[in-house]
Amino acid sequence: MSTSPLPTPQQPIQGVSRRQVRFVEGLGILLTLISLIALIELYPRPTATASLPTDPNDQLSSSGFTITNDGYFQLADVRAACFLWKVQFDRNADVTNSFSRIVSPSEGTLQTNEGLTVPCTTRNFIGVAHGPPRFTKADLAIVVYYRPYPFTFLRSHKLFRFVARVGNNGNVVAWDKQPSAILEPDFEKFMGIWRNSPSLPQL
């Protein structure tokens, strides 16, 4: 009856103990985690905020929406617009999948903590011959395209969705921030048509 030879025990690397090897491996994992956290913290973070309209005759006053660079580096080639996804007016005039005016900061650059006002006004869409229109529902997104410094070869964009909360008197009492996933398919379809129209300003 033959017996299998016992496995030869692994010999430790000359001059290096197992404890030292494990320490180096653990240190490598720790440094990798620290590097990832640092990259996340340093990565450009455009954010959007909404405030109540300052113009009582325009529920979508342009001063109500602001894009801010909350990252540590500047954003280059910045362009932003208001995407009216589903807006219903009291005159049976609805607006869907439309842009307000496209804007850009000075020299196209948004510095750290710098803000950009994004016009989002009903006067661009509905005539005011019989007085300013009032909407009964507004579901929209502020979209911003940018190149993150120093990776300016990358072109990124973000959508920030806001839904109006309209009071009994017809005035906007709040803009509630909501996830944008539900409107992104319509936005991408709209952008496909927009890009194929060379006469239109591009984002």
Q: Are 120 and 67 in contact (CB under 8 A)?
A: no
Query: Could you read off the pLDDT tens digit of each residue along the chain, which spans 203 residues?
Result: 555 565 555 555 555 577 766 766 666 776 665 544 444 445 567 899 988 776 666 666 656 789 999 888 889 999 999 898 998 877 666 778 888 778 898 888 998 889 999 888 765 555 544 556 677 888 999 999 998 877 777 888 899 999 988 877 767 778 899 999 999 999 999 988 888 887 777 77
DSSP assigned state of 108:
G
Strand order in the sheet with 75-89: 94-99, 75-89, 135-148, 156-166, 172-178
